[in-house]
A and B are shown apart, each in its own frame.
Chain A
Amino acid sequence: MAEPALESVASQPSERVAFEFRGTASEYFRIWIVNLSLTILTLGIYSAWAKVRRNRYLAASTRVGGASFAYLAEPMAILKGRALVVGFFLVYSMAQGVSPLADAVFGPAIFLAIPWAVIRSMAFRAHNTAWRNVRFAFGAPYGAAFGAYIGYPLLGALTLGVLYPNAVFRQRRFLVDNSAFGTTRFQIGSSNRDFYRAFGMIVMLALVLAATAGVVWSISGRFWAAAVASVPMGFYLFGYAASQISNHTYHGATLGPHRLRCRLEPGPLALLYASNALAILLSLGLLIPWAHIRSARYRLSRMGIVAAGSLDEFAAAQGDDVSSLGDAFGEMMDLDIGL
């Protein structure tokens, strides 16, 4: 398949280095089911250890440049963060029972904590991920996170979506530009225009989807027929949106003199989502690990590094330990934080 060439930043000869995923569904299924069993038996406490074991496996199964990634988080750090978040919400719900003012106090507090939670969560994850014994890092001022996660999305909503692609771009740029590997920073390679183009197409696809459903409904007179008819288009829409957002986040992003490659394709991704959904439903959830492994394998097969020179020269930073509080907060609030 022809791919747009990525010119290297410096005039050094560049070499394409592929990612490789070695995880297997058989191994991951066993890790996953033992994790779930122990989490149930310990009333959820084991979930912190389960998370570490899962992430260790997925990271160690991901290889690039002859070495695998490593996930280094301590389960106790995750457990403490979770305990604090659960404690906070317990206090909140008790306060609700006592005073009607509770919502007025806790509501804005939670709202204002979201940007902070994003930063802590990203920092925890980055700090606890390493490649060739050098850690990743993430750091950003509160104001930048507030803009990316509250300010710009709010502006997008107030303009009835006209500024929404801009908000997504700002969010993605915030995540990439504040990340680093060792002492080397990442920088996003896409622009606002890329996101507007992608969202234009998403809107078009959504209109086609609505028109298809409408035509089927008016011909058959049955709502469920229209719903069934819009499933394939719906998955394609999912695949298109997810592939474009990933591609625009990673493709062309620079790490020092190197560039990332990310070329997910809407069709294969849509098929992957559809077959995963079907397999999970028919297996009562037992094929969830298989779905995870296939997704990771596909994504990583479409990603790589266009290396300008050697990958041996990244230097490690002298970082402090980062508490996992933000990480737990991020999970509980179900923020879509992915990097």
Chain B
Amino acid sequence: MIELDGQLFDGQTTRSRAASLRVWTDETVRIAVAGSEQTLQLPDLEIPARLANTPRRIRLPDGAIFETPDNDGADALLAAQGRTRRHWLHRLESRWDLVLASAVFVLGFGAAFVVWGVPALARVAAFAVPAETSAWLGEGALEVLDRTLEPSALSDARREALRARLDEVTAAAPDAGDYAFRLVFRGGGDFGANALALPSGQIVLTDELVALADADEELIAVLAHEVGHVVHRHALRQAIQSSTLVIAIVLVTGDLSATSGSVALLPTLLAEARFSQEFEREADAYAVRTLDRAGIDEAHFARILRRMDEDPDEGFASFFSTHPNTDERIRLLERGESGEDAAPRQSLK
């Protein structure tokens, strides 16, 4: 005979009364509370499916709740109602082999989402906005940079010559028509020999880099790389990717509000470094195609990269490095691997 012990709550007040429920006939149950008994129709009981080992709340027709910790008894009562199947969710959650398979599936999906899903989403989203919006997002970036950069010491004639070189690049560069490129000259300060592309189409070239180049063709290669960052909308895509990742992490960690902030930080940094390296490869490939069209030897690009690499390096944790290893970049260039199109700013180094 099925008999369950529990408490009865009538739904009017929080009064708790010890009660027992037992199956009386095939169709009826009897509930005993404080010496009195009532008979109820078995099919009228609302018995919830099992959820781990939490107490079962059996709902009676008058809205009262019979709460019992006896899960086996409640399952037997469900069976007496003719519902013999154990609930499929509880079955899923009870079998460790299925749970393990779920864990593997979720981890695999999560990894695929970060590696392919997020960049693909960001690409679609970034190219959905008009070029002017993309440029507008980068406005003010130069003012921020100018706090670290110094005025340029280049002569006007040299500037004019280099601006003409940029025009050569943009004339040869694929898909560059939508953007207004402008060359800006600065002293590098802490940045040293470097070039930066801003989403607005401004390309910052430091005096140190100009001095480092042995030939103008090398600077053209650098400019082509920077134009690649702008045309591929890397700054916007970087911003979209980072925010998507943070939102995803916060959604999965749920309401662990204070923890999720610190938890989100490290994977976001790692993933951003990875995304950024992808962007550099994309810009390199773009530079190669541009040089090809302009009839300039790609070896110039490899040469200036090599020379920039000889500058003293920061050295801390290449995991977080935003740029791929120079040897790898040059190897890709030499194989002529332009490949199909595989941040607030992107610099050459």
Which A positions have Cβ atoms within 8 angstroms of B?
27-31, 33-34, 36-37, 40, 53, 56-57, 60-61, 65-68, 70, 131-134, 182, 222, 224, 234-235, 238-239, 242, 273, 276-277, 280-281, 284-286, 288, 291-292, 295, 311-316, 334, 336, 338
Contacts and interface: CB of A to CB of B under 8 A. Distances in A.
B89 A34 contact: yes
B65 A133 contact: yes
Contacts, number: 131
A292 B14 contact: no
Contact of A68 (B15, B54, B252): B54
B47 to A, nearest CB: 14
A56 B258 contact: no
Interface string B175-197: 00000000000000000000000
A133 B257 CA distance: 30
A32 B52 CA distance: 12
Given A56-B54, A291-B259, A312 B106 contact: no
A241 to B, nearest CB: 8
Given A66-B7, A273-B262, A286-B107, A336 B16 contact: no
A131 B54 CA distance: 14
Which of B13, B52, B252, B267: most chain A CB closer than 10 A? Answer: B52
Contacts of B51: 31, 53, 56-57, 60
B316 A224 contact: yes
Which of A40, A235, A338: most chain B CB closer than 10 A? Answer: A40
21 contacts: A29-B99, A30-B99, A31-B51, A31-B93, A33-B103, A34-B98, A34-B102, A40-B106, A56-B51, A67-B16, A68-B54, A68-B67, A132-B16, A133-B65, A273-B259, A280-B253, A285-B252, A285-B253, A314-B13, A316-B11, A338-B257
Contacts of B257: 336, 338
B57 A277 contact: no
A37 B102 contact: yes
Given A312-B13, A314-B14, A316-B12, A295 B256 contact: yes
Given A53-B89, A133-B64, A277 B54 contact: no
Given A53-B89, A67-B16, A33 B102 contact: yes
Contact of B15 (A61, A313, A338): A313
B310 interface: no
Contacts of A242: 258
Given A277-B262, A338-B255, A312 B110 contact: no
Contacts of A222: 316
Contacts of A27: 52-53, 93
Interface of B: 7, 9-16, 51-55, 57, 63-65, 67, 89, 92-94, 98-99, 102-103, 105-107, 109-110, 250, 252-259, 262-263, 266-267, 316
A33 B95 CA distance: 12
A128 B121 CA distance: 36
A276 B256 contact: yes
Say what secondary structure dominates the interface of chain A: helix
Nearest to A62: B54
A286 B253 CA distance: 10
Contacts of B262: 234-235, 238, 273, 277
A97 to B, nearest CB: 8
Contact of B9 (A28, A56, A132, A239): A132
A78 to B, nearest CB: 15
A277 B255 CA distance: 13
Contacts of B13: 134, 182, 312-316
Contacts of A338: 255, 257
Q: Which 5 A-B pairs have the closest CB atoms?
A: A60-B54, A133-B9, A27-B52, A132-B14, A37-B102
Given A34-B92, A34-B93, A36-B102, A133 B259 contact: no
A60 B57 CA distance: 10
Contacts of B65: 133
Contacts of A61: 54
Contacts of A292: 254, 256
Nearest to A284: B107
Given A27-B53, A280-B263, A288 B254 contact: yes
B11 A133 contact: yes
Contacts of B10: 133
A322 to B, nearest CB: 18
Contacts of B52: 27-28, 30-31, 57
A145 B193 CA distance: 55
A255 B6 CA distance: 27
A277 to B, nearest CB: 5
B14 A313 contact: yes
Contacts of B92: 34
Contacts of A53: 51, 89
Contacts of B16: 65-67, 132, 312
Nearest to A27: B52
Given A132-B14, A281-B263, A314-B13, A68 B55 contact: yes
Which of A65, A66, A133: most chain B CB closer than 10 A? Answer: A133
Contacts of A28: 52
A70 B99 CA distance: 25
B305 to A, nearest CB: 26
